[in-house]
Amino acid sequence: MNFHDVHQLVPAKGEKLTQFIDETELVLGIRFPTDYLNRASVLTLVDQRQVICGGAIVVLEPPFRSIRSIPTSNEVDYLSMAGQEDWAEINGVWLHTEKKSPYLSFTFWSHLISHLLRTSKQQFIFTFDNSNNRMGQVANVFQPEVLYSGRTIKLEGMKTDSDETIAAVNREVLSTAQELLERRGIGEAKPQEEEIIQRIKTHRIKGAVNSH
C-alpha cells in the first residue's frame, strides 16, 4: 500500500479545525489567533480513520508572524527588498508524539512540500524553537538561510517569549528535497542522494541577513 493511501494532508474545517487549534496549543504552547487562521491554509495530516496525526499552517500573504516576532527591523527590510509577494510562511508545524515515527515524518514532509510546491511562491519562511533538536535536524536537511536566531517577541496567543530560529528556503530547495524523499520512498540506492544533497546546498537563498 502506498503511504499516500494511508495518510492525507487535508484542509481543516469545522470540528477538525477546532481540534487542530486545541492540539496545537497543547503541543506548541501557542493558540494562534482567529484573524491569523482566517487568512491561512490550515492543514491536518489524518489517517484512514480521519484521526489527526499532525498539521501545519501556511500563510501566503504578509504580514507574517515569524517576521513580526523578530526584535529588530533588518529582516523586514530584507523581505521588502526581496518582494513580499514571492514569500509564504509555514507555521504551527507538529506531529503527534504518540504516533511519531520515521514513516509518519516521511509522509508528513512529503505531503507538505507537495502542497507548498503547488503554490506560486518562491521563498518560504519557517520558525522552530531552538530547544527542539528534532526540528533543528529536519531544518538542516533543507540548508536554510537563517534570518534571525535568538529571543523573539511574545505575540498574541503565546504564553511567553521564546528562543527561536527564523529561517527561509527557496522553491528550488524544496523541489530538490522532494526528489530526495521520493527516492527514499521507493527504496532507491543512497549513492544518488549525495548528488541531490549537494544540489540542495547550491539552491540556498542569496543575500539573507543574519542576526543574533
Distance separating alpha carbons of residues 137 and 185, to the nearest angstrom: 19
pLDDT reported for residue 116? 97
> Quick one: which H or E segment has residue 165?
strand 162-170
Is 36 within the bounds of a domain?
no
Residue 33: is the preceding peptide bond cis (ω within 30°)? no
Distances (CA, A) of 58 to 51, 85, 143: 20, 14, 20
pLDDT reported for residue 191? 53
pLDDT reported for residue 64? 92
Is 53 within the bounds of a domain?
no
Q: What does the chain come to in residues?
A: 212
Residue with cell 521507493: 186
Confidence of residue 52 (pLDDT cuts 50, 70, 90): very high
Domain that holds residue 82: 58-202
Is 27 within the bounds of a domain?
no
Q: How many domains does the structure of the chain reveal? A: 1
* DSSP string across 48-81: TT--EEEEEEEE-SS--HHHHT-SSSHHHHHHHH
Is 110 within the bounds of a domain?
yes
Is 14 within the bounds of a domain?
no
Is 37 within the bounds of a domain?
no
Helix axes 171-185 and 102-117, enclosed angle (nearest 10): 140
Confidence of residue 194 (pLDDT cuts 50, 70, 90): low
> Which cell numbers hold the place of 78?
530584507
pLDDT reported for residue 175? 92
Average confidence (pLDDT) over 164-192: 76
Does the pLDDT of residue 162 top 70, yes or no?
Answer: yes
pLDDT reported for residue 186? 42
- CATH number, domain at 194? 3.40.630
Q: What is the pLDDT of residues 67-93, one digit of tens each?
A: 889 887 555 565 655 677 899 999 999
Is 63 within the bounds of a domain?
yes
Buried b (16+ CB within 10 A) or exposed e, 119-129: eebebbbbbbe
Is 168 within the bounds of a domain?
yes
pTM of the model: 0.81
Confidence of residue 107 (pLDDT cuts 50, 70, 90): confident
Does the pLDDT of residue 123 top 80, yes or no?
Answer: yes
- Cβ atoms of 66 and 123 closer than 8 Å: no
The residues that bridge with 87 in the sheet, in sequence order, are 123
pLDDT reported for residue 198? 55
